[in-house]
Chains A and B, each alone.
Chain A
């Protein structure tokens, strides 16, 4: 190298440039790179978004006054309640079924494994609407359901036509369908837990149930939660299919009102859309906190909540303002 070792130093000591008359180079703030492309893209997107919003508000086609009229009507709220009920029951039953199916699939018994595999295969293959219509006509296939010795005497029997109300059909059908998907979500979560955790739990002699409930499953939940919430959001909207087994959920209510008041179809669909948006948003917020709960220990520190983020941003801004003022 022919360069003298003092080359870098001489740059700092060289004649000061016009805009930094006195400060040495090392004490200066690095100016961020300018990105004109990003500004142009941002402007284009903002214009398009504004146009869309403007259209949404001013287009008479949406009839916002009718939207306001329908939004909190009892018929719509009754439908919303049905949607919530069917979703809640199916989400819980589907997850429980999914856990059982996943455990069966991961068990050492070839019969349990095969039954679980076939179940998942069957219910993932058949459209939910077909399952629902099948169940709706179930009472024609099997008149009574009974609990007893197979091929032998029965201890209890149910009269199907009394047991199978519309909501029961909906919940059973959706749960059967949902548990097939949940099974794969849960199985994936369990497989994502490090083998060393199973070994450590076994080496400590922890009872089998405790190993699953307290060691493996809580860790599996970290990957189960985002996937299952995804399922759940699909489920909220999937419940709109119960309309076809004559249950008036949110969509069903909007639909039936729409056929009575054909002029209001668009505002009614907007009412349903906005309610679905609200439900999905609530679930997404809940997801953030549930995920945060199960992230304990998985990361060195928990991700900040939106409120904490806001506080950090304000503190940062203040500190920056103070620095700028000092300079």
Chain B
């Protein structure tokens, strides 16, 4: 199995006028975003700006109050009925999530399963692959993230960087059209950040659509096709890194970049 066949082709992600609030606290205030197939989008913004919530709305871990998200034109978490949107069954939502990979800040590997079983669990549980085929795929994916020798280890026996690479392999096991990264290197010691970023960089050239929330500005400049700056639950500006990072048009973007650079 070659590296190319391990991945499906990138999907289009469309976010339409998404609003999200918790009680009186408004987190997202009308976000519109289109991510083209194979594109690498980096989302930047101060803490509390709604970046993570936007990511979690895309795979329906959070339900938007208004607005909707679609993947290759198919609505996520809801269906159209006349001119209204109705919530999908939990089972249908779980099936849709198979097409959207998610990598957490805290890895969230399953500590009681070996590294190999962590990666092979989803394809088996969702009935996509028989167990032997899933284990073979898992071994290939672990080799791809440079952890072939850790297959029988348990997650807590690994370093943070290794755990995050396993988490990426786990997300890849369902061959998602898009992978969402929620601050994938924020919980890592500085010397471990590089190994995770290089795995993501490798994915960026593979044709899978990536949406990455991060604070690594240098990394964003290097791999992003597009940088999106969010503040106060709204997209303030977006464009290629050469524009948003080097010649920001908005005061708030300039202000943020001057603090993190």
Task: Spell out A's residues near B (CB within 8 Å).
Answer: 194, 196-197, 199-208, 210, 214-215, 218-219, 294, 296-300
Q: Which residues of B contact A201 (CB under 8 A)?
A: 110
* A204-B121, A206-B125 given; A296·B112 CB < 8 A: yes
Q: Which residues of B contact A208 (CB under 8 A)?
A: 90-91, 94
* B106 interface residue per 8 A CB criterion: yes
* A208-B94, A296-B154, A299-B156 given; A214·B61 CB < 8 A: no
Q: What's the least CB distance linking A193 to chain B, in Å?
A: 10
Q: Which residues of B contact A202 (CB under 8 A)?
A: 61, 94, 97
In the complex, residue of chain A having the shortest beta-carbon distance to the beta carbon of B97:
A205
> For the complex, what is the distance from the CA of A103 to the CA of B102, rounded to whole Å?
27
Q: What's the least CB distance linking A296 to chain B, in Å?
A: 6
> For the complex, what is the distance from the CA of A210 to the CA of B94, rounded to whole Å?
12
In the complex, residue of chain A having the shortest beta-carbon distance to the beta carbon of B124:
A210
> For the complex, what is the distance from the CA of A201 to the CA of B94, rounded to whole Å?
10
* B47 interface residue per 8 A CB criterion: no
Q: Which residues of B contact A219 (CB under 8 A)?
A: 110-112
Q: Which residues of A contact B157 (CB under 8 A)?
A: 300
Contact B94 A297 (CB under 8 A): no
In the complex, residue of chain B having the shortest beta-carbon distance to the beta carbon of A194:
B108
In the complex, residue of chain A having the shortest beta-carbon distance to the beta carbon of B112:
A297
Contact of A197 among B61, B110, B125 (CB under 8 A): B110
* Additional 4 contacts, C-beta under 8 A, given A218-B112, A298-B112: A204-B98, A204-B170, A297-B112, A299-B156
B163-221 with Cβ < 8 A to chain A? 170-171, 174
Contact A197 B94 (CB under 8 A): no
> For the complex, what is the distance from the CA of A201 to the CA of B104, rounded to whole Å?
12
In the complex, residue of chain B having the shortest beta-carbon distance to the beta carbon of A221:
B112
Identify whether the interface residues of A are mostly helix, strand, loop, or mixed: helix
* B34 interface residue per 8 A CB criterion: no
Contact B156 A300 (CB under 8 A): yes
> For the complex, what is the distance from the CA of A51 to the CA of B61, rounded to whole Å?
66
> 24 pairs across A/B with beta carbons < 8 Å?
A199-B104, A200-B108, A202-B61, A204-B97, A204-B102, A204-B174, A205-B94, A205-B98, A205-B122, A205-B126, A205-B174, A206-B94, A207-B94, A208-B94, A214-B121, A219-B111, A219-B112, A294-B112, A296-B112, A297-B112, A297-B114, A297-B154, A297-B155, A300-B156
Q: When A and B form their complex, which 4 residue pairs have the shortest distance between CB atoms, in order from nearest?
A: A205-B97, A200-B108, A297-B154, A203-B102
Q: Which residues of A contact B113 (CB under 8 A)?
A: 297
Q: Which residues of A contact B104 (CB under 8 A)?
A: 196, 199-200, 203
Contact of A203 among B97, B106, B156 (CB under 8 A): B97
* B8 interface residue per 8 A CB criterion: no
Q: Which residues of B contact A206 (CB under 8 A)?
A: 94, 121-122, 125-126
> For the complex, what is the distance from the CA of A196 to the CA of B170, rounded to whole Å?
15
* B242 interface residue per 8 A CB criterion: no
In the complex, residue of chain B having the shortest beta-carbon distance to the beta carbon of A216:
B110
Most B CB atoms within 10 A — which of A205, A206, A207, A294? A205
B5-20 with Cβ < 8 A to chain A? none
> For the complex, what is the distance from the CA of A206 to the CA of B59, rounded to whole Å?
14
Q: Which residues of B contact A296 (CB under 8 A)?
A: 112, 154
Contact A196 B174 (CB under 8 A): no
Q: Which residues of A contact B106 (CB under 8 A)?
A: 196
Q: Which residues of A contact B171 (CB under 8 A)?
A: 204
- Quick one: CB contact mask for B132-173 with A, threshold 8 Å, 1 for yes? 000000000000000000000011110000000000001100
Q: Which residues of A contact B122 (CB under 8 A)?
A: 204-206
Q: What's the least CB distance linking B96 to chain A, in Å?
A: 7
Q: Which residues of B contact A210 (CB under 8 A)?
A: 125
Q: What's the least CB distance linking B241 to chain A, in Å?
A: 28
Q: Which residues of A contact B154 (CB under 8 A)?
A: 296-297
Contact B94 A298 (CB under 8 A): no
Contact of B110 among A200, A205, A294, A300 (CB under 8 A): A200
> For the complex, what is the distance from the CA of A200 to the CA of B155, rounded to whole Å?
14
Most A CB atoms within 10 A — which of B94, B96, B126? B94
In the complex, residue of chain B having the shortest beta-carbon distance to the beta carbon of A218:
B112
In the complex, residue of chain B having the shortest beta-carbon distance to the beta carbon of A210:
B125
Q: Which residues of B contact A214 (CB under 8 A)?
A: 121, 125
In the complex, residue of chain B having the shortest beta-carbon distance to the beta carbon of A206:
B125
> For the complex, what is the distance from the CA of A196 to the CA of B104, rounded to whole Å?
9
Q: What's the least CB distance linking B174 to chain A, in Å?
A: 7
- Quick one: CB contact mask for B53-90 with A, threshold 8 Å, 1 for yes? 00000010100000000000000000000000000001
Q: Which residues of B contact A199 (CB under 8 A)?
A: 61, 104, 108
Q: Which residues of B contact A218 (CB under 8 A)?
A: 112
